[in-house]
Amino acid sequence: MKKLIAMVLSVAMVISFAACGKKEDQKESGNNDNQATVTVTVTPEADEEDKVTFIIPEISENTAGSALWNAFLATVKEKPDTSAIDLANKLSTNSVIQFMAGAMETEPGYLAGFSEEITGFESGATYGPMMGSIAFVGHIFKLADGADVNAFVENLKSKADPRWNICVSADFVQAGAYGNTVYFLMYPASMDQTTNAGENGGADVSEAEVIRPEVKENTWGALLWETFEAVMNEQPTPSALDAAFALSMDETIPFVAVSSEVEQGYLAGFDEEIHGFKSAGSFGPMIGSIAFIGYVFELEDGADVNAFMATLSEHSNPRWNICVEADQTVIGAVGNKVFFLMCPETNGEKEPIE
């Protein structure tokens, strides 16, 4: 009974501290409504080691922040020993992130999103856009056993800088923790607008019209079209450039490939100017004479996708590279994103691509 009373008093003290502990010198930037609530979960039967520090960010439901926090929480509750980089990788592929994202390990020091050095963690990882000016950065930190998790979270919030990216500013700053694993996120309000557009966040690609090309199996064209479809299913609204970047990184491409943004006009692979698209990204060899050129075109909503594809087919030129000639032309679409590729059928050794 004494042990139970002590536990109840401990919980009451923590709740009292959470209610009174708001910082007076909070930064004006960011959303000050998103302060963490501290709760220590204790059951009367629990031993001392079963107590878990649980810091919950105040996040509205059906937002990008809530989706990422819930994904973090579900993973770390199921497997508390999940590494920081594995958590960051998992969150970077969440469907509410509709840009091409990546994750990497971090060490104590100056980290993206903060105005001062961040120290005091054993391991860490960050995730965010692989390219582009987006006010989004997420971090996962693993603290040592017995570390002051509350103090570490408060330190993150006090040093967070929503304008760390000088081009844009984050609207939300959120920090929480489960056990010794700490979650931190800054992101723009525009992500919430996209998240609310669908039940699971973003548009439903299953409802988008898919125009699949007729392409020979086990060729570059077939494999890269499959990758394009996969990208569109995983991230229903990636930019044309992000989709092109994903294709340039595909493991079936045996040469060093790059992606770049392109504008309307004369494009490699065509004998006349190409117009009628909203944005586009190209992907192909960085160097060398290889008859390979690919594009992802984004059309305006309501545009005639079939007519645009017919124009691409009519003006494509397999011998645009005078040294070599492409063997296949592949054109397809998912929604208003059009995939175009001219390339050899094989990997250059005249063998099928495994």
User: Nearest CA to 98 among 214, 205, 225?
Assistant: 205
- Per-residue pLDDT tens digits for 198-215: 433 334 444 568 899 988
The C-alpha atoms of residue 125 and residue 92 are separated, in whole angstroms, by 11
Residue 208 is predicted with a pLDDT of: 62
Which spans in 42-148 are helix H?
64-78, 84-92
Describe the chain by its helix, strand, coil percentages, rounded to 5. 30, 25, 45
Residue 313 is predicted with a pLDDT of: 93
User: Nearest CA to 219 among 347, 321, 322, 91?
Assistant: 347
For the entire predicted model, the pTM comes to 0.50
Residue 165 is predicted with a pLDDT of: 78
Residue 271 CA to its chain's centroid (Å): 36
User: Nearest CA to 282 among 320, 323, 327, 234?
Assistant: 320
Torsional sign, CA 260, 266, 269, 275: positive
The C-alpha atoms of residue 43 and residue 63 are separated, in whole angstroms, by 31
The C-alpha atoms of residue 133 and residue 197 are separated, in whole angstroms, by 23
Q: Compute CA distances 79 → 67, 73, 83, 103, 181, whole Å.
A: 18, 10, 9, 19, 11
Residue 81 is predicted with a pLDDT of: 93
User: Between vectors from CA 175 to CA 100 and to CA 120, what angle results, nearest 5°?
Assistant: 100
**Length, in residues, of the chain:** 354
Residue 156 is predicted with a pLDDT of: 96
The C-alpha atoms of residue 100 and residue 238 are separated, in whole angstroms, by 7
> Which residue shows structure tokens 């070599």?
324
Question: For the chain (length 354 residues), average pLDDT per consecutive 10?
Answer: 41 38 38 40 38 85 90 92 95 84 93 95 93 86 95 96 84 94 93 55 53 87 91 76 89 88 93 94 86 94 92 92 87 94 68 40
Beta bridge partners of 177: 55, 182
Contact between 274 and 307 under an 8 Å Cβ cutoff? The reply is no
Contact between 143 and 150 under an 8 Å Cβ cutoff? The reply is no
Token pair belonging to 244: 């092109």
Token pair belonging to 217: 């199996």
The C-alpha atoms of residue 147 and residue 180 are separated, in whole angstroms, by 7
Residue 195 is predicted with a pLDDT of: 54
Q: What are φ and ψ of residue 77, in 5° steps?
A: -70, -40
| Cβ within 8 Å of residue 3, ≥6 positions away | none
Residue 269 is predicted with a pLDDT of: 92
Residue 350 is predicted with a pLDDT of: 37
